[in-house]
Structure 1
Amino acid sequence: MATEQQLSTDSKYDQYDFPTTAPESQPGHPGHTTPEQDAKVHQFRAELEQLGYTDRLDTLTLLRFLRARKFDVEAAKTMFTTTEKWRKEFGTNDLARTFDYKEKEQVFQYYPQYYHKTDKDGRPVYIEKMGKIDLNAMYKITTGERMLQNLVTEYEKLSDPRLPACSRKAGKLLETCCSIMDLKGVGITSVPSVYGYVKQASDISQNYYPERLGKLYLINAPWGFSSVFSVVKGFLDPVTVNKIHVLGSGYQKELLSQVPAENLPAEFGGSCNCEGGCEFSDMGPWLEPEWARPPKWAAPKEDKEADNTVQNEDPGYEKKDTEGQDGAETTA
């Protein structure tokens, strides 16, 4: 049985300036691992090193991939290598530093997606409003590719600086976020037009950013949604199901039991009215000087290139940047 302990770290990869003990007293979570699980972390890292990987091998990241695959090292290795291949093809390592979503304000008229303050556990709150989605109108402003690039950029920023700042402020390791998905205005007829994008976005989250969901509140769920979800639950992992709360229009009491009123935008029953709009404020510990630190990916790329010179001279070595590094935390 796992007991609370210090995170078993590797000095080569683990440089954390925030707490590394998870609040969940569950086996496999940092500070609550068994000797067998610690051994699997070492095995996982050693096998990845043999394949030539040098980035994102910190203990917190490896534990997330292992938890996502029930500590099956071979399955976790497949997930990790697939993720690294995707990161290279998508250009993920550069996005947080270079992506400029200049059309954001226009896009948000149809599909607001934003982080805003924290829940009662100290986790970042992520909000999506799906009722106004009109892809035809949005694609006159932006492209599906740029929408996905923005999504990935925000995942990278969740990993660093958001979660580390929240961990410092809470005094405990936080690796997940509290998500609110507002379904008000979503009808059956709108589903086909947005299904493709939503599926792509969901695939990115599940496949490449594992173990990032803390709680998910589906609010203003339309009539019949609960029945549909009860069928879907049969295909989901029980751990995931326990994180999802389907609520109708009377969601305020339950939502406010998780998110303090002063942190919840007024339109959802809270008392927060950020100047310029909560959806554009990006308020949270990651902007508070006491808790914020420069993210790892903000370092100039040229500073890293010299470190890679020897590795790049080896034709068998596949270059991988350290920017946006999950977990060294760096989160999905």
Structure 2
Amino acid sequence: MDLNPKYDDYDFPYTAAEKQDGHAGHLTEQQIALVHQLRMMLEAEGFTKRLDTLTLLRFLRARKWDVNLSKRMFVDCEKWREETKLDETVPAWDYPEKGDIQQYYQQFYHKTDKDGRPIYIETLGGIDLTAMYKITTAERMLTNLAVEYERLADPRLPACSRKANNLLETCCTIMDLKGVTLTKVPSVYSYVRQASVVSQNYYPERLGKLYLINAPWGFSTVWSVVKGWLDPVTVSKINILGSGYQSEILKQIPAENLPKAFGGTCECEGGCENSDAGPWHEAEWAKPAKWETKKGDDAAIENKGSSIETPEVTTGVETAEAPEKSEAKVEDKAAA
């Protein structure tokens, strides 16, 4: 690991706990050289943001250390960020329709797994795009997805890294397929397909473990399609479980951190899906995100911006094919 003082301004641990090839703190001289090469190539084209070592490593790993492919992926991501005005949107984003959307589709972060990673939960069985698009738009749903990825990167993962005392860059994801029948598959697939483009192309290397629970009869057919979107390394992180999933998930997630609805013992006041409980809200570990407009000494995530008009997504998420396979959050997903 060769830190660059111009870009590597980390206020959290930046060495991975386990020795993994190509991960921070466990790099070869050749890999370090490739980081420098990618950064110089991007600087030569005028890029000045997100050139820190950890970010560049994620793009390099996603493209198997091919510098030219990694550069293309990074440039495409920056173009998308500019087109969607994402940097301006994140601090001001408000999603007041979330409560109404939750009756069809829940997405939330909740505490951490045994490795200290944020737990992310999605429920897909209630997805009804016709009803959901009467409440919001596809563009706003995808913008909210991107904003949550940004808030995962900062402040969630840095807070978890501080608490674990080692670098954490990925999530432990639970996707609940209960209620996903064959008649609902086209609707679920439609949204998941759009979301996976965002996840794969713009947020690589964010999946740690994925548990697909309550997998319905016939799911193997759907899975055969989903697997085609993903890198084999990603596929190895995915566990497909039926209705008797609890014992397997509890090997990775403490019962007190898992919502009772999913076999754990946690019952947050107001519902686990609304609590956003985790180290990112604990004073000992939380710090304001770099994108956040600070208010007093509050170090927790703030999501109090007024409703804004979101620029139309122009990246072809409706129909575009991902240029190369990379790690996706099949959730967002399945999705991603």
Q: Distance in 1 between matches of 2:226 and 2:123?
A: 21
**SS of residue paired to 1:245:** strand
**SS of residue paired to 1:298:** coil
Q: Which residue pairs with 1:180 in the alignment? A: 174
Q: Distance in 2 between matches of 1:102 and 1:32?
A: 43
Gaps of 5+ in 2: 295-328, 330-336
Cα pair distance change 1:233/1:100, threshold 3 Å = closer
- CA RMSD between the two structures: 1.4
Displacement of 1:230: 5.4
Q: Distance in 1 between matches of 2:168 and 2:210?
A: 16
Contact 1:120 1:258 in 2 (8 A): yes
Contact 2:255 2:263 in 1 (8 A): yes
Indicate whether 1:297 and 2:299 are aligned. Answer: no
Match of 2:212 among 186, 210, 218: 218
Indicate whether 1:166 and 2:157 are aligned. Answer: no
Match of 2:29 among 35, 38, 41: 35
Contact 2:4 2:53 in 1 (8 A): yes
Map Cα deviations across residues 74-112 of structure 1 (whole Å, 9 max, x no partner). Answer: 000000000000001112112221110011111111100
Match of 1:81 among 31, 56, 75: 75
Q: Residue 123 of structure 2 aligns to which amino acid in structure 1?
A: K
Q: Distance in 1 between matches of 2:128 and 2:32?
A: 47
Contact 1:160 1:296 in 2 (8 A): yes
Q: Distance in 2 between matches of 1:65 and 1:135?
A: 32
Q: Which residue pairs with 1:114 in the alignment? A: 108
How many pairs does the alignment contain?
A: 295
Cα pair distance change 1:257/1:56, threshold 3 Å = same
Q: Residue 205 of structure 1 aligns to which amino acid in structure 2?
A: S
**Which structure has the larger Rg over C-alpha atoms?**
1
Indicate whether 1:242 and 2:236 are aligned. Answer: yes
Displacement of 1:233: 4.1
Map Cα deviations across residues 158-214 of structure 1 (whole Å, 9 max, x no partner). Answer: 000000000000001000001100000001111222333211111100100000000
Displacement of 1:232: 5.3
Q: Residue 50 of structure 1 aligns to which amino acid in structure 2?
A: A
How is 1:1-332 mapped onto 2 (pairs within 5 angstroms)?
A: 7-226=1-220, 228-229=222-223, 233=227, 236-299=230-293
Q: Distance in 2 between matches of 1:69 and 1:162?
A: 25
Q: Distance in 1 between matches of 2:230 and 2:79?
A: 26
Q: Distance in 1 between matches of 2:189 and 2:57?
A: 31
Displacement of 1:42: 0.3
Contact 1:116 1:281 in 2 (8 A): yes
* TM-score normalised per structure 2: 0.85
Displacement of 1:15: 0.6
**SS of residue paired to 2:291:** helix
Query: How much identity, in percent, do the aligned residues show?
Result: 68
The structure where helix makes up a greater share of residues is 1
Q: Distance in 1 between matches of 2:71 and 2:149?
A: 21
**SS of residue paired to 1:297:** coil
Q: Distance in 1 between matches of 2:192 and 2:223?
A: 16
Contact 2:20 2:26 in 1 (8 A): yes
